[in-house]
Amino acid sequence: MLMGRLLEVCIASEDAAVIERARALNGLHFDLLEADQRTRLSALLAAVSDELRFDIESGRTEVPDREGFALALAELEMRLHDLYESDSRTAAED
């Protein structure tokens, strides 16, 4: 669900390939990505996570454990925010 939404908003073909691979392997490994791609994908995934969380909380998207799923998405968005903010600061220092 989340990766499908990410793929829908992805623009760069190299990012789409990474997302497709992540879907097939059931995981996206940010530590294996180049810094610019990691920053781009983490920011995009954070935005998609936030949007999906809102859709779940508002009842527009149904999931079995609504509260638990929304909470997990909020935590994911926070962690991704830390990742892309850290990458952005590092890039600015270079």
Domain ranges of the chain: 2-93
pLDDT tens digits, residue range 1-58?
Answer: 999 999 999 999 999 999 999 999 999 999 999 999 999 999 999 999 999 999 999 9
Q: How many CA atoms, within 13 angstroms, populate the side-chain half-sphere of residue 50?
A: 11
What region does 26 belong to: left with phi over 0, alpha with psi -120 to 50, or beta?
left
- What's the pLDDT score for residue 83? 87
| Of residues 89, 58, 53, the one with CA closest to residue 72 | 53
Per the model's pLDDT, the better-predicted residue between 62 and 83 turns out to be 62
- What's the pLDDT score for residue 43? 94
pLDDT band for position 87 (50/70/90)? Answer: confident
Contact of 28 with 6, CB cutoff 8 Å: no
- What's the pLDDT score for residue 31? 92
What region does 14 belong to: left with phi over 0, alpha with psi -120 to 50, or beta?
alpha
